[in-house]
Amino acid sequence: MSTLSLVYRKAKLFGELVMFSHTLFSLPFAVISMVWAAHGIPSGRTMLWGVIALVAARNGANAFNRVADMTFDAMNPRTAQRHMPRQLLKSREVLIFVAVNYAIFIGASAMLNLLCFVLSPVAIFLISSYSYTKRFTFLSHLYLGFVIASAPIGAWFAVTGHFAFTPFVLGTVVMLWIAGFDVIYGTQDIEFDRTVGLWSIPSYFGLTNALWIAKGLHAVMVLLLVFLYFWQGLDWLYLLGIAIAVLLLLTEHNLIKPTNRRLMKIASYNLNQVISMTILAFTLADYFLL
């Protein structure tokens, strides 16, 4: 195998490992936050280093999670074919990948401003510690949402260099949204989690209650999106985008069938990628066209 082919193969494996396409969950909200913070289009420099920081942090955290969960993934029939249990990638090289991405994240944060640089080690601790929360609390879904909420909050810091109210509301939207569909995703592993002693809302409260909790989280998310309509002084295009997102969320909840892996992938991942891009498109259209 040529060096170029080997590099391509490794890059493909790492891309699959960290599910690079799922960057669409957090990136759209980070872009919205940047635009609102800048009252328009941020500078090219801020956009560049902001996106680099976000992608590097996300890749590092996802790869770290794969190493931390390797033993459980190997035991779970649903996840036994992932890269780490199959030893397609070794723990050592994945940890090197984590270290490189975290270093890039710190460097990109330093290129943005002092606040981002100072907070970068805190962010690394938060996004890495998520991997262990499912060992002791069913609130792990909310913690996952909390750490992903750092994307729009950090994006605001990247532009302004200071704290504000709006990014924390937008971050809470992301937290509730992520937690809601992570609860849905977790319904596939109720029996496994109970057997091995992992904590989740589905394993703790049962399937029916878990699905109601997921609906409640998404309902509050929508209310906060409506609040932002008034708080930011937005117009009808933004509300249209939120209405479409609500229809997609309702479709997501109607699709749920824990025994059907294909439907669960559509409900937990595919539809939510469309939701985030819909909110982004209509928010930007509202902001710049009306």
pLDDT at residue number 263:
82
Question: Residue 76 has which token pair?
Answer: 């779970």
* Angle, alpha carbons 178-84-207 (nearest 5°): 40
| Amino acid symbol at 221 | M
Residue written as tokens 């890039």?
104
Look at residues 174, 151, 195, 1 and name the one whose alpha carbon lies nearest to residue 61: 151
DSSP codes of every residue in 52-68: HHHHHHHHHHHHHHHHH
Positive or negative, the Cα torsion across 261, 145, 53, 153? Answer: positive
DSSP 213: H
For residue 198, how many other CB atoms are within 10 A of its CB? 19
Q: Dihedral angle at the C-alpha atoms of 123, 94, 142, 46, nearest 10 degrees?
A: 40
In the predicted model, is pLDDT for residue 2 greater than 70?
no
Of the pLDDT bands very low, low, confident and very high (cuts 50, 70, 90), residue 229 is: very high
Question: Residue 70 has which token pair?
Answer: 């390797």
Question: Residue 271 has which token pair?
Answer: 């539809």
Of the pLDDT bands very low, low, confident and very high (cuts 50, 70, 90), residue 290 is: confident
Which ranges of the chain does DSSP label H, i.e. alpha helix? 3-17, 27-38, 44-68, 70-75, 91-112, 114-133, 140-148, 150-160, 165-186, 190-196, 201-205, 207-231, 236-255, 261-265, 271-289
Q: How far is CA 212 from CA 21, 36, 45, 186, 215, in A?
A: 28, 33, 43, 13, 5
Q: What is the pLDDT of residues 280-289, one digit of tens each?
A: 999 999 999 9
In the predicted model, is pLDDT for residue 1 greater than 60?
no
Residue written as tokens 């997609």?
248
Query: At 205, phi and psi to the nearest 5?
Result: -100, -10
pLDDT at residue number 185:
92
| Upper half-sphere CA count for residue 226 (Cβ side, 13 Å) | 8
Q: What is the pLDDT of residues 90-145, one digit of tens each?
A: 899 999 999 999 999 999 999 999 999 999 999 999 999 998 999 999 999 999 99
pLDDT at residue number 23:
66
In the predicted model, is pLDDT for residue 170 greater than 90?
yes
Q: Helix axis angle, 271-289 relative to 27-38, nearest 10°? A: 20
pLDDT at residue number 248:
95
In the predicted model, is pLDDT for residue 73 greater than 70?
yes
pLDDT above 70: percentage of residues in the chain: 98
Q: What is the pLDDT of residues 78-104, one digit of tens each?
A: 888 888 888 888 899 999 999 999 999
